[in-house]
């Protein structure tokens, strides 16, 4: 069986490759993709994660969480 070559600089990655690149668990990415929390496109049964959009989303959530902690708000 041929080994599939991956390009880490490509914006769309398969779940296994996105997990390796981002350090996030495969289950988190797979479940998030199924419910719409992780930005992705489906190509048949293959899910391609939009890694740059995912990282921007996580950064925005982290910044919002930090802002809530700075202001003393709960949530």
User: Does residue 23 fall inside a structural domain?
Assistant: yes
Of 33, 57, 53, the closest CA to residue 45 belongs to 33
User: Does residue 48 fall inside a structural domain?
Assistant: yes
- Burial (CB count within 10 angstroms: exposed 0-12, middle 13-18, buried 19+), residue 41: exposed
User: Does residue 37 fall inside a structural domain?
Assistant: yes
- pLDDT given at position 74: 62
Domain that holds residue 44: 12-71
- pLDDT given at position 22: 94
User: Does residue 6 fall inside a structural domain?
Assistant: no
- pLDDT given at position 45: 92
Q: Higher-confidence residue: 75 or 12?
A: 12
- Summarize pLDDT for 49-70 with one digit per residue, the tens: 999 999 999 999 999 998 888 7
* Count of domains for the chain: 1
What is the arithmetic mean of pLDDT over 16-27?
96
């Amino acid at each position: 069986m041929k080994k599939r070559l991956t390009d880490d600089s490509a914006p769309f990655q398969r779940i296994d490759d996105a997990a390796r690149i981002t350090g996030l668990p495969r289950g988190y990415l797979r479940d998030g993709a199924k419910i719409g929390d992780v930005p992705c496109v489906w190509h048949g049964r293959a899910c391609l994660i939009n890694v740059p959009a995912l990282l921007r989303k996580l950064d925005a959530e982290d910044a919002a969480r930090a802002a809530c902690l700075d202001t003393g708000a709960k949530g």
